[in-house]
């Protein structure tokens, strides 16, 4: 059983094709994806993905976010397309 106590659905068992909302800058902006952590908690390795700073918090570069999310989506589609599995964990 999964953590939600529902039985897992085998690939293709539901008979429905799931679709995702399109990834674009506007929808990410409206969703507030650009708000980062307080600037005092930043990791210098993330500097290239930070657009700027406002009210002591970093603003994430959404154009780079869109690019990287599309790269991740393509990778996941490749793995799943070959019969592999992918565990996604959100925090």
Query: Is residue 13 in a domain?
Result: no
Domain that holds residue 65: 25-71
| pTM exceeding 0.75 | no
Tell me the DSSP string of the chain.
--TTS-PPPPTTSS----------HHHHHHTTTTEEEEGGG--GGGGGGEEEEETTEEEE-HHHHHHHHHHHHHHHHHHHHTT--------
Domain count, the chain: 1
**What pLDDT, on a 0 to 100 scale, did the predictor assign at position 74?**
93
> One digit per residue, pLDDT tens: the chain, 91 residues?
445 555 565 655 555 566 767 777 788 778 777 777 778 888 889 889 888 888 888 888 888 888 888 899 899 999 999 999 999 898 7
Query: Is residue 12 in a domain?
Result: no
Instruction: Indicate the average pLDDT of the chain.
Output: 79
Query: Is residue 80 in a domain?
Result: no
Query: Is residue 5 in a domain?
Result: no
């Amino acid at each position: 059983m999964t953590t939600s106590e529902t039985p897992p659905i085998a690939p293709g068992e539901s008979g429905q094709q799931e679709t995702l909302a399109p990834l674009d800058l506007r929808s990410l902006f409206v969703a507030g994806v650009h708000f980062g952590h307080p600037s005092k908690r930043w990791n210098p390795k993330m500097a290239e993905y930070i657009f700027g700073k406002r009210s002591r918090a970093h603003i994430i570069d959404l154009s780079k976010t869109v690019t990287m999310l599309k790269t991740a989506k393509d990778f996941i589609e490749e793995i799943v397309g070959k019969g592999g599995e992918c565990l996604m964990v959100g925090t």
